[in-house]
């Protein structure tokens, strides 16, 4: 290998440790920035996936009435006893948990007869009657389709996406670690922001968004890997339990023999096998009265805290009743277990296994336990993560612009990344807005409308990339930001014109899910609009950046 | 160690980088493959060996050893990836990584 560099002793690939890691940090960010930005934006939307789905279905709540847990469980069990007496599983999902529903009680079940099918039922909690399948709901991919893109991407087999996402996530972890290595003024950076100073401001913005949200970003990246850890890193389990070392044929098959054996041993190790080996023993038993069980739960949690109420094997001596909280203050749902025959509480083992640490990380990733305030923090942290990637991408181009000599023209790579940045950083949010618009504008009866919502996202995003490639350089960002502002401001209007719900009506009815969506869109409109007008009002600065090589000498970072 | 700022290298390498030759690109590709594929193999070897040591020596049950090593494998893999972009000579990187992998694989085979 030839080395033409004349710099003093180089120990590594790109100089010393810090230079090598700085180069790696920049290279990873540049190569995977777009995928990671896409994952952060769509994944962040996922913290409100159920809320987004409700809005996209476009109907008011069946009920916003408050009925006690006890009454709702009574109604649900009565319906199950009547509709599905022979079951291996009964489950009730009560309104008000993290999975926002339209105010109904969701009733689920698994028939004993494996060939029989039982689809979900919904009950109106005000009268206990089954709500007929609603034909006024818009067929939609909803928040779930948006959120699924952050791990399954789109237009490709799930396995391909899984590996792309895996590699991207692993290198995200590498980018975080290298970012910490090249950084040494952690606390100073937390309070450092020098706006309006070109490259230095972008560096500050990148540092600020990284350092402030580092705990979140580290957690979300590591736990993202843990979510698929036995698919990406199947070798240890394969070596100790058998099974393929590279589990590529059936990456999501979770019930192969090796896995089952592993799961069973995990349950034994954590002394919780009674909750895992939930195999019916075939001896019929009468289900315990639910009243005393609810009493016990309310003694532990207070009234009306139940989010899910489930019974494995309701009419078998091996049955277990499980109650989950709606949300919790800890990093996991609170769960209570009861024997389904006697109604006595079953106590969990208190041996903590490494796997349970992994489970906590996975719960942290989902954030399903979070109450509304914490959920908003999740959402904002996710956006800050996206901002960290965006500022890093912009920093790369700004730095190279300012380094150009007077007589130098930017090379293709720099111009390409500059325009790509605009088309991705603002273009993708415009695409997401198009997803919401498409939901309202595509006729409710159209075949395959859910697919077209998603197509609208990617077509619009593609148009934004084309626009970014062709438009005058100093107008690209302004155009797209203004479009994003207009589109988000008009979401509530388009919604009001095309559905039976509107912002005013939702506010009056106290339907905070629907109203919250519209208000959030208005908030985004303000943010996009302010950014656009700021860029618009400072043409001098833009021009200065365009001809940075003439007006400024390349600046080094201040000596440290 | 000499203090170097985050940006030290960039302004000097202005305009079109002279280093973007086909050979350089091939080297970056090789290092990426070492980081991903080599990283997987080396991490697997290390984690399997550690899991076997932990479970055979009764320090923890087999299931716990498996999940512990699988959970921390990402830290090891990340370090291997960073190493793949730090070691100056590609052949030495391949030799070192191959050696570590072989050593841990041998230990695993002895314990299996």
Q: Is the ipTM of this complex over 0.90?
A: no
Q: Which residues of A, range 23-62, sit inside 8 Å of B by Cβ?
A: 23-24, 27
pTM for this model (two decimals): 0.86
Instruction: Give the pLDDT confidence of B1-55 residue by residue, as tens digits.
Output: 333 444 434 444 434 445 678 889 999 999 999 999 999 999 999 999 999 999 9
**The pLDDT of residue B10:** 42
Contact B66, B12 (CB under 8 A): no
Q: What distances in angstroms separate CA A541 from CA A160, B10, B72, one per listed residue?
A: 44, 23, 48
Give the closest-approach CA distance of B98 to chain A in angstroms. Answer: 17
pLDDT given for residue A203 in this prediction = 85
Interchain proximity A354–B71, CB inside 8 Å: yes
> Going along chain B, which residue ranges are E strands?
none
Predicted local confidence at residue A141, as pLDDT: 92
- Phi/psi at A493 (nearest 5 deg)? -70, -50
- Residue A12 DSSP code: B
The Cα A414–Cα A420 span in angstroms is 10
Write down the pLDDT at residue A98.
55
Q: pLDDT digit string (tens) for B75-96?
A: 999 999 999 999 989 999 999 9
Which residues of chain A from 335 to 374 reach within 8 Å of chain B, CB to CB? Answer: 353-355, 357-358
Q: Determine the length of chain A.
A: 560
Tell me which residue in B11, B15, B48 faces A235 most closely, judged by beta carbons: B48
Q: Which of residues 541-560 of A touch B (CB under 8 A)?
A: 554-557, 559-560
Q: For residues A106 and A101, what is the distance between their CA atoms, to the nearest angstrom?
A: 8
Nearest to B6 among A182, A262, A413 (CB): A182
Cα–Cα distance measured from residue B107 to residue A193, given in angstroms and rounded to the nearest whole number: 52
Cβ-Cβ contacts under 8 Å for A251 (sequence gap 6 or more): A159, A162, A231
Those residues whose C-beta lies under 8 Å from the C-beta of residue A239, and which sit 6 or more positions away, are A245, B44, B48, B51, B52, B108, B112
How far does the CA of residue B108 sit from the closest CA of chain A (Å)?
Answer: 9
Q: Are A242 and A234 in contact (CB under 8 A)?
A: no
Distances (CA, A) of A69 to A124, A126, A290, A295, B45: 13, 12, 11, 11, 52
- Nearest residue of chain A to residue B18 (CA atoms): A4
> What letters, b where the CB count within 10 A reaches 16 and e where it falls short, cover A93-111?
bbbbbbbbbbbbbbbbbbe
Give, for A335, the enclosing helix (H) or strand (E): strand A335-339
Q: Cβ B64–A174 below 8 Å, yes or no? A: no
| pLDDT by 10s per residue, chain A, length 560 | 344 444 445 677 888 888 899 999 999 999 999 999 999 999 999 999 989 998 998 877 777 667 888 999 999 999 999 989 888 899 998 886 556 567 888 899 988 887 788 778 888 888 888 887 777 778 899 999 999 999 999 999 988 999 999 999 999 999 999 999 888 766 666 667 777 777 888 888 888 888 888 999 999 999 999 999 988 998 998 899 877 776 545 544 544 677 778 888 887 877 766 665 567 777 888 888 889 999 999 998 888 888 889 998 888 888 889 998 887 666 667 788 898 888 888 887 667 778 888 888 898 999 888 888 889 999 999 999 999 999 999 999 999 988 888 788 888 989 999 999 999 999 999 999 999 999 999 998 888 999 999 999 999 999 999 999 999 988 999 999 999 999 999 999 999 999 988 999 999 988 888 999 999 999 999 999 999 999 888 755 544 455 444 444 444 343 33
Q: What is the pLDDT of residue A360?
A: 85
């Amino acid at each position: 290998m030839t080395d033409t560099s004349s710099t003093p002793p180089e120990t590594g690939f790109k100089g010393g440790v810090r230079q090598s890691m700085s180069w790696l940090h920049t290279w990873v960010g540049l190569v995977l920035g777009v995928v990671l930005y896409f994952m952060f934006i769509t994944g962040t939307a996922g913290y409100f996936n159920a809320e987004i789905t409700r809005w996209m279905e476009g109907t008011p709540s069946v009920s916003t009435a408050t009925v006690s847990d006890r009454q709702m469980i009574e109604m649900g069990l009565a319906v199950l006893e009547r509709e599905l007496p022979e079951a291996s599983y009964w489950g009730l999902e009560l309104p008000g948990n993290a999975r926002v529903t339209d105010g109904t009680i969701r009733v689920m079940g698994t028939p004993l007869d494996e060939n029989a099918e039982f689809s979900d039922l919904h009950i109106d909690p005000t009268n206990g009657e089954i709500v007929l399948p609603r034909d006024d709901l818009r067929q939609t991919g909803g928040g779930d389709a948006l959120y699924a893109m952050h791990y399954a991407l789109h237009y490709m087999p799930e396995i391909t996406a899984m590996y792309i996402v895996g590699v991207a996530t692993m290198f995200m972890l590498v980018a975080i670690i290298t970012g910490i290595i090249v950084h040494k003024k952690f606390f100073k950076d937390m309070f450092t922001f020098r706006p309006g100073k070109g490259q230095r401001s972008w560096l500050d913005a990148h540092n600020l968004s990284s350092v402030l949200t580092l705990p979140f970003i580290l957690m979300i990246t590591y736990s993202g890997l843990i979510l698929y850890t036995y698919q990406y890193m199947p070798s240890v389990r394969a070596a100790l339990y058998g099974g393929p070392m590279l589990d590529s044929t059936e990456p999501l098959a979770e019930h192969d023999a090796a896995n089952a054996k592993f799961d069973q041993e995990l349950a034994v190790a954590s002394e919780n096998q009674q909750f895992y080996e939930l195999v019916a023993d075939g001896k019929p038993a009468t289900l315990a009265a639910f009243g005393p069980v609810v009493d016990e739960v309310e003694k532990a949690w207070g009234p009306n805290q139940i989010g899910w109420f489930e019974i494995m094997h309701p009419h078998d001596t091996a049955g277990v009743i499980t109650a989950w909280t709606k949300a919790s203050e800890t990093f996991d749902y609170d769960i209570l277990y009861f024997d389904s025959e006697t109604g006595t509480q079953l106590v969990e083992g208190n041996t903590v296994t490494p796997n349970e640490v992994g489970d906590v990380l996975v719960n942290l990733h989902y954030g399903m336990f979070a109450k509304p305030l914490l959920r908003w923090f999740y959402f904002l942290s996710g956006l800050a993560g996206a901002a960290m990637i965006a500022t890093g991408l912009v920093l790369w181009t700004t730095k190279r612009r300012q380094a150009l000599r007077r007589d130098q023209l930017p090379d293709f790579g720099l111009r390409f990344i500059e325009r790509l940045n605009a088309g991705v950083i603002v273009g993708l949010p415009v695409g997401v807005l198009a997803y919401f618009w498409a939901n309202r504008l595509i006729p409710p009866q159209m075949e395959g409308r859910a697919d077209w919502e998603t197509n609208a996202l990617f077509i619009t995003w593609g148009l934004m990339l084309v626009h970014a490639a062709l438009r005058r350089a100093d107008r690209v960002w302004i155009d797209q930001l203004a479009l994003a502002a207009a589109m988000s401001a008009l979401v509530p209007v388009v919604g009001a014109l095309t559905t039976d719900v509107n912002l005013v009506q939702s506010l009056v009815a106290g339907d905070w899910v629907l109203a919250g969506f519209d208000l959030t869109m208005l908030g985004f409109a303000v943010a996009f609009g302010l950014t656009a007008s700021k860029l618009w009002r400072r043409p001098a600065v833009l021009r200065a950046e365009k001809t940075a090589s003439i007006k400024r000498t390349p600046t080094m970072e201040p000596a440290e | 160690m000499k203090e170097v700022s985050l940006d030290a290298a960039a302004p000097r390498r202005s305009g079109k980088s002279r280093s973007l030759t086909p050979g350089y690109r091939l080297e970056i590709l090789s290092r990426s493959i070492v980081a991903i594929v080599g990283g997987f193999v080396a991490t697997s070897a290390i984690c399997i060996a550690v899991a076997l040591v932990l479970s055979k020596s009764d320090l923890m049950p087999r299931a716990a050893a498996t999940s512990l090593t699988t959970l921390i494998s990402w830290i090891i893999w990340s370090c291997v990836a960073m190493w793949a972009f730090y070691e100056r000579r590609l052949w030495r990187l391949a030799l070192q990584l191959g050696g570590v992998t072989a050593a841990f694989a041998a230990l695993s085979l002895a314990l299996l």
